[in-house]
Amino acid sequence: MYDVILVRYGEISLKGKNRNFFVHTLTQRIRENIAHLKPRKVEIRYGRLYVPVLDDSEELLEALRKVFGIVSLSPAIRVSRDEEQIKNACLELLKKTIDPKIPKTFKVETRRADKTFPVKSMDMNQILGGAILREFDEILKVDIHNPQIEVGVEIRSEDVFIYCERVNAFGGLPIGVTGKGLCLLSGGIDSPVAFWLAAKRGILVDGLHFHSFPFTSQRAKDKVDDLCKKLATYCGKVKLHTVHFTEIQKEIKMKCPEDMIITIMRRFMFRIAEGYAKKRDSLVLITGENVAQVASQTLESMNVINEVVDIPVIRPLITMDKIEIIEKAKIIDTFETSILPYEDCCTVFVPKHPKTRPTLRQCLEAEKELEVDRLVAEAIESIKIEEFTVDM
């Protein structure tokens, strides 16, 4: 029934001289997110993008809904700039949209993007509204304030688009327009949400995962792979960089006070992440931390952990409570995977009573027997890279 999906973008339209860069990046992200469907050309018009429908309108709509930068979508019929054709398209669309046994209210909303069209928007609303009432006089009534059906008509310089449905997307900015970031990605609930939120703001996010085989199982690593596949449905593709963290954890366990293990482990993670981020030209680290959720997330702990890096650290979840994070994880479909009961490296060698208010002096004292630079360099050298795409 539909010819195209009409794509609306929000804050991109405010980018002034950089607008073309943002629009072309959005177009590239659309191509990546629909790469698993039949190929087609994305049309770029001023203020809108149009993606042709083949025989896959539902799959196409769902894939486009997950592209960051898109505000809303409408499956639409495309006709020429002819009043009679516009009228017939409105009637055809309503016949396939409404249930003839259920009365409803409607209004017509015409948007005349091309002012050279001879009929003004208000006059077009009345012409089309009258035709609809004559065709559906026992089913539809006009309500211009709270209609159950809104017939949208966009008149542009080349053609006209008619639609009845508006699907909200996630908004944000196209991935890549704000630079590269590296997200510390565990298999838990929080870090995939942090990854998603950072990507939504246009950051090209790579995942950095710390794996502690044989203390953590292959199934724990598989869980992270599955999370990357889910994130790829929003990002088109996701690169996962896996650090073999076992030797460092064994060194910490052997040479540091037990109550400092978590703090020292997090300081190593940050050092490795910063070193690797600089090698890959990533400008920021992203974490799933928030305040006071676990021992390493007290303000004192976060302060001494952050002390080992100079790179900016973004914490998108910092003020959210657990319920809010879980709700977001369910919306983006990572929750059910995150709660699978496979341990990650943060649950290895966990002390009974971790220090919640560590000081910098205590950290330096705890680390004095460790060859920090060597351990960090070897960990960075061991990193393996995998790529996950939307069609995996």
Q: What is the pLDDT of residue 148?
A: 95
Q: What is the pLDDT of residue 356?
A: 87
The annotation status of 78 as a binding-site residue, yes or no, is no
The annotation status of 21 as a binding-site residue, yes or no, is no
Segments of the chain with pLDDT less than 70: 345-349, 392
The annotation status of 210 as a binding-site residue, yes or no, is yes
8-state DSSP, 201: B
The annotation status of 349 as a binding-site residue, yes or no, is no
Residue whose entry in the numeric block shows the structure tokens 């991109």? 12
Domains of the chain: 4-168 (3.30.2130.30), 180-389 (3.40.50.620)
The annotation status of 185 as a binding-site residue, yes or no, is yes
In tens, the pLDDT along 258-299 reads 999 999 999 999 999 999 999 999 999 999 999 877 777 899
Beta strands in the chain (DSSP E): 4-9, 43-45, 48-52, 70-79, 104-112, 140-142, 149-155, 160-163, 167-168, 180-184, 204-211, 237-244, 284-286, 313-314, 384-389
Q: What is the pLDDT of residue 13?
A: 76
Q: What is the largest CA-CA distance in the chain?
A: 87
Q: What is the pLDDT of residue 72?
A: 97
Q: What is the pLDDT of residue 348?
A: 67
Q: What is the pLDDT of residue 313?
A: 97
The annotation status of 112 as a binding-site residue, yes or no, is no
CB 239 within 8 A of CB 387: yes
Q: State the Cα–Cα distance between residues 284 and 276, nearest whole angstrom.
A: 11
The annotation status of 362 as a binding-site residue, yes or no, is no
Q: What is the pLDDT of residue 340?
A: 85
Q: What is the pLDDT of residue 353?
A: 82
